[in-house]
Structure 1
Amino acid sequence: MSTADEPNVRIGDVSHSTFAVGSHAHAESHHGTAPARDEATEELLRAVRELREDLRRVRADEHTAALDEELARTEDEIGRTGEAGPSRRERLRALLGDSQALLGVLASAGTVARMLGLS
């Protein structure tokens, strides 16, 4: 068989494309915009981002690291699926419950700010 007898395939620009080759190939596309989010999820996402920013201002330990990691996962899940599922919310509740001292520090800063007329 000469090269002239072989099939000729040309693939141009494949950016933003999905394709599969072969008899049992399967292609799945996940391109496009993020799923729609309701107002409660948007509010949760804003709060998650704000708490992650606040965590950068306190001394890190294993609890704050675990909380930040779960917050990052929550932010990612909302971005991918449009919501934070029940199990994700439960893990966040548990981590926040374990971080009462941290929450006290952040809440006390808010109290001081209010007392100083900053908010």
Structure 2
Amino acid sequence: MAENPTPADRAAGGIHVSNAGGNVTIGDNNQVAYTVQGSEPSRDPRQEELLQAVRALRGDLTRVVASEQTTALDAELSDVEDEIEGTGAAAPGRLARLRQALADAGAVTGLFASAAAVGQAVGALLGG
């Protein structure tokens, strides 16, 4: 059918749906399935705080000369970010690896408030 049907199109039995923001069924014995596209898993506020701090620190790391320690830290940050986005939470083992990577890169990351925020968020989630 045309984008903007004419009265003749409507009289001929054509159907035009211009906006289907809700559920639409036409005919008998139809079923409606509702799925949320692009929805994220619900997150604990502490995990959300960690995710924001991880993103900030990853941005800050782009401002320093890469080293073995900062490269390893960025890899751990990336893994934590992916896990929180995918499942809603970073597992304790992943958080422990991130904590160690932060400590290993401490000479560089000590300059960034974002590194302190990540460390605090990880500490709160691991209980220490």
Question: Does the TM-score normalized on the shorter chain lie above 0.5?
Answer: yes
CA distance in 1, matches of 2:105, 2:50: 18
Matching residue of 2:53: 47
CA distance in 2, matches of 1:45, 1:32: 18
In structure 2, stretches of 5+ residues that fail to align are 1-36, 114-128
CA distance in 1, matches of 2:73, 2:109: 11
Runs of at least 4 residues off by over 4 Å: none
CA distance in 2, matches of 1:65, 1:75: 15
Output the aligned Cα RMSD. Answer: 1.4
Matching residue of 2:110: 104
In structure 1, stretches of 5+ residues that fail to align are 1-30, 108-119
Identify which of 92, 99, 104 aligns with 2:98.
92
3-state DSSP of counterpart to 1:84: coil
CA offset at residue 45 of structure 1? 0.3
TM-score by length of 2: 0.56
Q: Which has the higher contact order (CA 8 A, sep 6+)?
A: 2
Whether contact under 8 Å (2:57, 2:112) holds in the other structure is no
3-state DSSP of counterpart to 1:47: helix
Matching residue of 1:74: 80
Matching residue of 1:38: 44
CA offset at residue 35 of structure 1? 1.0
3-state DSSP of counterpart to 1:105: coil
3-state DSSP of counterpart to 1:45: helix
TM-score by length of 1: 0.60
**Percent sequence identity over matched residues?**
55
Q: Which segment drifts farther, 45-54 or 94-103?
A: 94-103
